[in-house]
Structure 1
Amino acid sequence: MTEPEAVGLSSERLERIVPWMQRYVETGQLAGLSVLVSRRGRIAFRRAHGLADLARGTPMADDTIVRIYSMTKPLTSTAILMLYEEGLFQLDDPITRHLPEFRDMRVFTGGSRGKWESVPAERDITFRDLLTHTSGLTYGFMDSTLVDGMYRDGGVDFQTAETSLADVVARAARMPLLAQPGAEWNYSIATDVLGRLVEVIAGQPFDDFLRERIIRPLGMVDTDFHVPADRLGRFASNYVRGADGRLTLIDDAVDGRYARPRGVPSGGGGLVSTAADYARFCRFILGRGELDGVRLLGRKTVELMTSNHLRGDLADMGQPRFSESSYSGIGFGLGFSVMLDPAKAQILGTPGEVAWGGAASTAFWIDPAEDLFVILLTQLMPSSALPLRRELRVLTYAALTE
């Protein structure tokens, strides 16, 4: 910790975050939340407010463990790029070299769930397509297309399946694509497929690779695909707002799905973590692939990872139906969003800033130009329920003094 003024931030303005946090808890919109702001390698603001578990009265704390869902994606992207640096594939290689089940894919063009029409995919899906969510894959939970429905009917759900990563990926390969590979940006199970590619290429279970090659080397001591019994007391419950507007439990901290090892380690959304742990990952990205003398990626790889790989912003790439980001002024790199134009995005920020969030309203962003990162943790689904991320951006950037 350091005084905010020592790193070019205003204490008075950062303190505006406190009543903002209190308002969401006291009005019953959130059970609890925590915020961490770091600049120039020092933590300038760190507060927790409210409860991690309403029924048990467990306070939200600095070391509360939460479901980070899609904030898992940047770690999975890091894993596949570590193998890329070992010369084991190129970004424009077809994934069929390692996952032959994705050969001869079809692209949905119309019809009904029972009798759908399609055309052949013009080319195979590449590693880059998966990293940038331009593969043509989708998510079943979005329930906005017939293909989404096919995913649900076919058991393509990496959060609930208890078979294996290989099995769920194989089910996905039997479904039609939503668009031609490379043509549109569609948020999807692409990062889960990357997790399967990690284990095929590395010859090691994906969750073991992530623990041994990334989580432990970075010192992320509370990050895993489940919560051990001796840490369940620090785990937050997950909520949704009911029809009456009150918080309703959807996954209990002690008796829920994360209290035991998961059958399928989801590279797209399976991890739990803490603010301290995820701060170490943010420092690793700000350190351009290195943290405390441990280098996992080369500097040029991180530069490529944090560059926009789309032809314009997300709004230029078809009609995105869902993501953990707005569309205008925001591009996408190899694993997270990239700020292109704050004016177009209509939010405070810096070109080159990278970010993403999770389904339970968690979020992070890393601003290399300002040597800044911010982490927001809470447990409310869906992430679109409240404008937490945009409000916290304004509160944080308004505190910059130099």
Structure 2
Amino acid sequence: MSKAKSLGFSRERLQRIDRFIQDRYIAPGRLPCAQVLVARKGEVVHQTLLGQQDPERGVPLAEDTVFRIYSMTKPVTCVALMTLVEEGLIALDDPVARHIPEWKNLGVFAAGLEGAFMSTPPARPMQVVDLMRHTSGLTYGFQNRTNVDAAYRKLKLEDFDTGDLDAMVATLANIPLEFSPGEAWNYSVSTDVVGYLVQKIAGKPLDQVFQERIFGPLNMADTGFVVREDQKARFAACYSATPQGGLKLQDDPQASPYLAAPKLLSGGGGLVSTAADYLRFANMLVNGGELDGARILAPKTLRLMASNHLPGGADLTQMSRSLFSESTNAGIGFGLGFAVVFDPPKTLIPCSQGEFYWGGMASTAFWVDPAEKVTVVFMTQLIPSSTYPIRRELRTLVYSALMESQA
């Protein structure tokens, strides 16, 4: 990109990104594809396009390839809720039971199995902020850790086609929390419940709220809960990692559940998108809530979201009970929808104070650096996201190419 030098980046060092990913991941068959967009002050300074969006059929990766972004849906859902907070329709310290009355007597697990749980009262009521920062006491079934997450699996709580958001919330009313709200951080279906609150308070389906409040204003035409007919030829194949370091087809793009509208509009992981679309979302965030004249949130709201909200100023290594996390780093807290760097030296990687980010189950990732006005989106399709340390590696590669720092 010719703009790289004028925006403080070394073009030669940015090219290391392509060589590194090609040699380390694409050529050995560890990743099917890789797309990287690096931008500063809203201007793209580098794009990586490597591999194939559909290796089974020999379809090369394209700039407009459509990806499953899984948990990169979460920041979108939290932004949607904060638009309602700004309108005074809900508050972060509201008890969740005010909006979900059937959760009024939700207890904390003491003993037992699904159908015969014993519980105790929580130390305090769950608040909306607990859902946003994953301190609610809820969990994910795939963690395979406790009797509570076993109940989630048995009841198929995370199945997009088992029931809708109303059914999920009703089922959760009969399953105890893993801990009292605020006592720990546990990656969970909390953001799906945030999506339920958005839908209920706005009085419209979640996909419509997203379209009206975020996707439409930001011109994110390729982002949604279903792969449309006009997107099918651009939809990527998704793979799972094999023990031998290879790839096994996990979701065929021509026979994928994403080709039909889901029953459950998952605010925690249901969206598909493109790198260009998600970069527009990230650029809105780095600009303090506005992009190209479309104001989504106020700057103060965005700063609140991108602050560490873990109790006592703790980081994730101190608070997490989760066996699955998009972050295992010291010096990193959690805000309202994404991880937040608050002590850069502890991370042992190049980053900025106040940088925030998240990723998805298929190894996708993004980060927003307000100090440097840098945004990065990384797209691929490999499950699980913990297979390779490419996200940390990518941070090092990008920041080693930044020659003119503002922070």
**Short-chain TM bin:** over 0.9
Q: Deviations over 1:271-313 (max 9, x none)?
A: 0000100010011101111111111111111110111111221
Q: Deviations over 1:163-185 (max 9, x none)?
A: 21111121122111011011111
1:111 and 1:12 map into 2 onto residues whose CA distance is 60
1:182 and 1:335 map into 2 onto residues whose CA distance is 16
Matched residue of 1:16: which SS?
Answer: helix
Counterpart of 2:369 (choices 367, 370, 377) is: 367
Map 1:212-223 to 2 at 5 A: 212-223=212-223
Map 1:160-309 to 2 at 5 A: 160-309=160-309
Letter in 2 for 1:240: S
Matched residue of 1:167: which SS?
Answer: helix
Matched residue of 1:355: which SS?
Answer: strand
Q: Deviations over 1:307-361 (max 9, x none)?
A: 1111221122253322111241100111101001222122111110000000000
Counterpart of 2:343 (choices 334, 341, 344) is: 341
Letter in 2 for 1:14: L
Aligned residue for 1:385? 387
**Unpaired runs of at least 5, structure 2:** none
Shift, 1:210, TM fit: 0.8
2:129 and 2:38 map into 1 onto residues whose CA distance is 31
Contact map agreement 2:160 2:266 (CA 8 A) in 1: no
- How has the CA–CA distance of structure 1 residues 122 and 161 changed in structure 2, closer, same or farther, with 3 Å as cutoff? farther
Deviates more, 1:1-10 or 1:197-206: 1-10
1:319 and 1:244 map into 2 onto residues whose CA distance is 29
Letter in 2 for 1:143: N
Letter in 2 for 1:62: E
Aligned residue for 1:155? 156
Scaled by the length of structure 2, the TM-score of the pair is 0.96
Map 1:26-105 to 2 at 5 A: 26-105=27-106
Report the identity percentage.
49
Aligned residue for 1:353? 355
Shift, 1:265, TM fit: 0.7
Deviates more, 1:162-171 or 1:53-62: 162-171
- How has the CA–CA distance of structure 1 residues 318 and 19 changed in structure 2, closer, same or farther, with 3 Å as cutoff? closer
1:318 and 1:324 map into 2 onto residues whose CA distance is 11
Contact map agreement 1:47 1:62 (CA 8 A) in 2: no
Matched residue of 1:46: which SS?
Answer: strand
2:392 and 2:272 map into 1 onto residues whose CA distance is 23
Matched residue of 2:250: which SS?
Answer: strand
Shift, 1:260, TM fit: 1.1
Q: Deviations over 1:41-96 (max 9, x none)?
A: 21110121001111111111111100000000011001111000111122111111
Shift, 1:244, TM fit: 3.9
**How many residues matched?**
401
Aligned residue for 1:332? 334
Scaled by the length of structure 1, the TM-score of the pair is 0.97
1:166 and 1:18 map into 2 onto residues whose CA distance is 45
Aligned residue for 1:143? 144
Aligned residue for 1:134? 135
2:41 and 2:378 map into 1 onto residues whose CA distance is 19
Contact map agreement 1:155 1:171 (CA 8 A) in 2: no
2:162 and 2:185 map into 1 onto residues whose CA distance is 29
1:4 and 1:203 map into 2 onto residues whose CA distance is 45
1:2 and 1:81 map into 2 onto residues whose CA distance is 37
Letter in 2 for 1:294: A
2:151 and 2:168 map into 1 onto residues whose CA distance is 13
- How has the CA–CA distance of structure 1 residues 343 and 320 changed in structure 2, closer, same or farther, with 3 Å as cutoff? farther
Q: Deviations over 1:87-128 (max 9, x none)?
A: 112211111111112111111134455654321123321110
Q: Deviations over 1:213-233 (max 9, x none)?
A: 111111001000011122111
Shift, 1:199, TM fit: 1.1
2:78 and 2:99 map into 1 onto residues whose CA distance is 17
Aligned residue for 2:126? 125
- Does residue 1:322 correspond to 2:304, yes or no? no
1:305 and 1:60 map into 2 onto residues whose CA distance is 34
Q: Deviations over 1:111-148 (max 9, x none)?
A: 45565432112332111000111000000011112211
